[in-house]
Structure 1
Amino acid sequence: MFALRIAALVAATLSTGLIAGLFYGYANSVMPALNRTDDRVLIDVMQKINVVIINPVFMIGFLGTVGFSVLAAALHLGKDVRATLIWIIVALVINVIAFGVTSGLNVPLNNQLEAAGDVSGIADLAAVRAQFEADWVKWNILRAVLHTAAFLVLCGALFVAGMQRGEEKSAAPQATYGTQQNFSNTL
């Protein structure tokens, strides 16, 4: 059971770290670079990104931030692993909030940008950009910070799980070699 618990916890930690890194990358490179371009380029590139990012690799990571955290929590419901469960629940709450930011704030802005239509047919590019960019960047930074915090808490959960396992191992009676002990007792 320990291996399954740790596998779920590692999957939650990995998916959360990957998504935190993705949003961090947007905050530190993609959006600052696009900010230096004209309206047409920003709208065109973001419309294309919003299409290609919906792929199985991204979706497993993104949905895994919550899904794997739920699985890890469910596998840590036992009394003997409660300390790890507390860390996982904190991370899960943070991941759910970050998921809500993406779903409730960034995605609607993406959809609004898509609804503006092909960049070549948009009459007022500056207005479309103004309705999108500043808010999207702000919410992206928030979700990056949240997922990073959840990642750190999940790292803490892994540490606590390892400590608990070490304590269990050291508290277990040491195996003795019965045949050697019996042989030496007869001499």
Structure 2
Amino acid sequence: MFAVRMAAMVAALLSTGLIAGVFYAYAISVMPALGRADDRTLIDVMQKINVVIINPWFMFGFMGTVGFTALAAALHLGKEQRSPLIWIGIALALNVIAFAVTAGSNVPLNDALAAAGDPASITDIATVRADFEASWVRWNIVRAVLHAAAFLVLCGALFAAGVQQGKSNSTVGAIAAPTSMISAR
């Protein structure tokens, strides 16, 4: 069972790290570069990104932040798994909040940008950009920080699980030692 619990935690850690990295990359490179572009370019590129990012690779990681972390939490239910469960629970809460930020802020902004239509035919392009850019960047930073924090907390959960497993193994070894000494006589 230890291996199954660890596999779920590693999957949670990997998906959370990948998504934190995607949002981090937007925060430090994509959006600052687009911030230097003209209004039509920013809108055109973001409309295209918002279409291509909805793909199985992204969705597996994005949905995995909550799904794999919830699975790891479920597999750690029980008194003997309390130490890792606390860490996993915190990571799950952070991932759920980040998921809610994406669903409640970034996705509606993306949808509004798509609804604005072809950048070449938008009459008030500066207003469309202003309604999108600053808010989207701010919420992207929030979700990047939340996922990065969840990643760090999941690292703590893995460490706590390893320590707990080590303690369990040493207890089993201490119990087994007298038995082996008796059988050696």
Shorter-chain TM-score: what band? over 0.9
- Tell me which residue corresponds to 1:170: 170
Judge which range, 143-152 or 169-178, deviates more: 169-178
The alignment status of 1:29 with 2:29, answered yes or no, reads yes
The alignment status of 1:45 with 2:45, answered yes or no, reads yes
Q: Deviations over 1:85-137 (max 9, x none)?
A: 01000110111000000000000000000000011111111111000000000
Q: For residue 172 of structure 1, give the secondary structure of its aligned residue in structure 2.
A: helix
Length-normalised TM-score, structure 1: 0.93
* 1:140-155 aligned within 5 A: 140-155=140-155
Aligned-CA RMSD value: 1.4
Q: For residue 123 of structure 2, give the secondary structure of its aligned residue in structure 1.
A: coil
| CA distance in structure 2 between the aligned counterparts of 1:98 and 1:37, rounded to whole angstroms | 28
| CA distance in structure 2 between the aligned counterparts of 1:37 and 1:25, rounded to whole angstroms | 17
Length-normalised TM-score, structure 2: 0.94
Q: Which has the larger radius of gyration?
A: 1
Judge which range, 165-174 or 77-86, deviates more: 165-174
- Tell me which residue corresponds to 1:19: 19
| CA distance in structure 2 between the aligned counterparts of 1:173 and 1:9, rounded to whole angstroms | 26
2:20 partner letter: A
Q: Deviations over 1:123-175 (max 9, x none)?
A: 11111100000000000000000101111101000000000011111111366
| CA distance in structure 2 between the aligned counterparts of 1:140 and 1:15, rounded to whole angstroms | 17
- Tell me which residue corresponds to 1:64: 64
1:40 partner letter: R
The sequence identity of aligned pairs, in percent, is 69
| CA distance in structure 2 between the aligned counterparts of 1:122 and 1:89, rounded to whole angstroms | 46
Gaps of 5+ in 2: none
Q: For residue 9 of structure 2, give the secondary structure of its aligned residue in structure 1.
A: helix
- Tell me which residue corresponds to 1:77: 77
- Tell me which residue corresponds to 2:139: 139
Runs of 4+ displaced beyond 4 Å = 174-178
Q: Deviations over 1:49-72 (max 9, x none)?
A: 000000000001000000001100
Q: Deviations over 1:16-47 (max 9, x none)?
A: 11100100000000000000000010000000
Gaps of 5+ in 1: none
1:18 partner letter: L
